């Protein structure tokens, strides 16, 4: 484990002592109470039961991409939380109706009807992971993230993304287009395949730039768009026959808007963010890349 030091400075310099020792339920309650602020996930229920109450997921939610998210908390170094999380992930994939009913009960009908099953995932939270945990997820064909927490004093909590694995469309082709066909929508993959080569090249150029911003960036291909995230989304992209749309998690009030760069806070749109740029064939990508860098750094 790499040692992280945090200091308060002013007239004197004081090192804040770190700890990952919390009561078993304390870290779970803190995360459930602040799940969207921490991870971009809407909390649904604690201790959700499966297999006729024989087992219970620690926390369950639905993220900003409308994908199911399971949280499991590791209390001891030797606890095999990864396998446990994968068991629950497999259970949810095979019991979609149960999850849909939960979303309907805790959220609303629209959210329940538009669950995106292309990228359900597990987030494992622990005070520490051993080297076997960190290596194991590289060989797992599922979406899973390991996040280490460190507590500083009474009101400072740090989350560190240790490792993440993203797998494209882990539910397979059986769900392809189910919800999208209901609303006569074309999936992202279909849009990409139909786009002209020049636009595909632009999209790939932007994608490669985003992935180069840091080792903590991951890409998730969803039903209707592609999301780029650290722990939470910071940008999303769509591709169409004549344009590419890039959304940023930036405040439009801080920017000079024009015909291509617009405020989408009051406009229906796919993906995350409050600001969007529309790119056409031949457009310069300098401004887009600068905005992507800012969104990455601020989120």
DSSP 251-290: -GGGS---SSEEE-TTS--SSS-SEEEEE-TT---HHHHH
For residues 150 and 215, the answer to whether their CB atoms sit within 8 Å is no
Helix (H, G, I), strand (E, B) or coil at 205: helix
pLDDT score, position 21 = 57
208-259 pLDDT, tens digit per residue, is 999 999 988 999 999 999 999 998 999 999 999 999 999 999 999 999 999 9
For CA atoms 258, 263, 267, 272, the dihedral sign is positive
Residue 224: other Cβ atoms inside 10 A: 22
Helices (H), 185-248: 188-194, 197-211
Among candidate residues 74, 62, 187, 173, the one with its CA nearest the CA of residue 113: 62
Question: Residue 145 contacts by C-beta under 8 Å, 6 or more apart in sequence?
Answer: 121, 122, 123, 124, 161, 163, 164, 165, 231
Q: What is the mean pLDDT of residues 271-288?
A: 94
Residue 288 pLDDT > 80: yes
85-109 pLDDT, tens digit per residue, is 999 999 999 999 999 999 999 999 9
122-156 pLDDT, tens digit per residue, is 999 988 888 888 888 888 878 899 998 988 877 78
Q: What is the mean pLDDT of residues 3-26?
A: 77
Helix (H, G, I), strand (E, B) or coil at 139: helix
Q: Calculate the alpha carbon distances from 97 to 49, 103, 113, 123, 176 in Å.
A: 14, 10, 11, 22, 16
pLDDT score, position 77 = 63
Residue 11 pLDDT > 60: yes
Q: Binning pLDDT at 50, 70 and 90, where does residue 172 land? A: very low
Q: Binning pLDDT at 50, 70 and 90, where does residue 175 land? A: very low
Distance CA 253, CA 265 (A): 11
Among candidate residues 296, 182, 215, the one with its CA nearest the CA of residue 250: 296
pLDDT score, position 190 = 93
For residues 246 and 283, the answer to whether their CB atoms sit within 8 Å is no
Better-scored residue on pLDDT, 54 or 190: 190
pLDDT score, position 53 = 63
Residue 1: other Cβ atoms inside 10 A: 13
Among candidate residues 178, 151, 176, 146, the one with its CA nearest the CA of residue 163: 146
Among candidate residues 142, 123, 127, 148, the one with its CA nearest the CA of residue 232: 123
pLDDT score, position 106 = 95
The domains located in the chain, with CATH, are 6-165 (3.40.1350.10), 186-298 (3.90.1150.200)
Distance CA 245, CA 236 (A): 8
Better-scored residue on pLDDT, 152 or 64: 64
Q: pTM for the full model?
A: 0.82
pLDDT score, position 179 = 45
């Amino acid at each position: 484990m790499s040692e992280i030091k945090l200091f308060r400075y002013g007239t004197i310099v004081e090192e804040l002592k770190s700890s990952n020792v919390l009561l078993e339920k304390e870290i779970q309650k803190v995360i459930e109470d602040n799940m969207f602020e921490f991870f971009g996930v809407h909390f649904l229920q604690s201790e959700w039961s499966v297999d006729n109450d024989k087992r219970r997921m620690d926390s369950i939610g639905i993220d900003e991409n409308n994908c199911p998210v399971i949280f499991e908390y590791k209390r001891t170094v030797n606890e095999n939380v990864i396998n446990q999380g994968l068991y629950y992930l497999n259970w949810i994939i095979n019991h979609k109706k149960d999850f849909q009913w939960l979303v309907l009960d805790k959220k609303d009908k629209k959210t329940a009807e538009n669950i995106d099953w292309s990228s359900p995932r597990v987030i494992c939270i622990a005070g520490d992971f051993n080297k076997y945990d960190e290596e194991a997820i590289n060989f797992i064909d599922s979406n899973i993230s390991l996040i280490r927490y460190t507590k500083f004093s009474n009101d400072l909590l740090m989350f560190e993304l240790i490792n993440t694995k993203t797998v494209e469309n882990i539910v397979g082709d059986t769900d392809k287009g189910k919800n999208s066909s209901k609303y006569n929508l074309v999936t992202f993959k279909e849009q990409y395949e139909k786009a002209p080569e020049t636009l595909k090249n632009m999209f790939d150029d932007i994608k490669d730039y985003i992935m180069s911003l840091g080792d903590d960036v991951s890409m998730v291909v969803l039903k209707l768009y592609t999301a780029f995230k650290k722990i939470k989304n910071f940008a999303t992209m769509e591709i169409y026959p004549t344009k590419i749309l890039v959304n940023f998690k930036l405040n439009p009030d801080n920017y000079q808007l024009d015909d291509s760069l617009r405020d989408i806070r009051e406009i229906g749109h796919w993906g995350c963010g409050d600001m969007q740029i529309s790119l056409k064939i031949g457009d310069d990508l300098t401004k887009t890349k600068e905005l992507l860098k800012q969104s990455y750094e601020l989120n």
